[in-house]
Amino acid sequence: MDKVVPETLLMEPFYAQGDRVFITYNESFSERQWSIAFAEDMVDDVRPWLKPYEHVSLICEKWNKEKAALSLLYKNRQMKEAKAGLRKAKALLIQSVCWLNHERVSLLAFNQHLKRFRNKPINGVERIQFILTHDHYLSFIQLCAIMDELQRLNERIYLLSSQL
């Protein structure tokens, strides 16, 4: 399915005005998220923000697989390749935070959305802003830590909701 990237997802380094993506369902959910930033937020088929536990769990699994490859790129000082992987990982981070708060990703005034989100890591606003504005190794390290926290937060939210 050929889609024009909606205005709500236009933000550097992800998309610019007029960008188009081709979304196919030949790959798994997590592979689609890795290959096309915010794929599910461009279509109304899956709506992962309505069932965040399942989908954030899949994102965290994908991140845990890709983290080792990214770490190796940084270790070998392959910065261009690492930057591309970091951009994809940043998209996973944004999706996870939005979906944990039962919201579709919108990058318009994202910092304002982030501030009002109930479910986010400790000092999440400052840490996520740091990750989104930097492309170096320290932002990768911070991204690793915050994705681990999001995985635990997702589990906690699920456990608390199942006890009600």
In tens, the pLDDT along 22-77 reads 998 889 999 999 999 999 999 888 899 999 999 999 999 999 999 999 999 999 99
Residues 87-94: what's their mean pLDDT? 97
Provide the 8-state DSSP code for 6: P
Q: Give the ranges where 29-136 is alpha helix by DSSP (H).
A: 29-35, 39-42, 52-75, 79-100, 110-116, 124-133
- Give 164's pLDDT tier (boundaries 50, 70, 90): low
In tens, the pLDDT along 122-155 reads 999 999 999 999 999 999 999 999 999 999 999 9
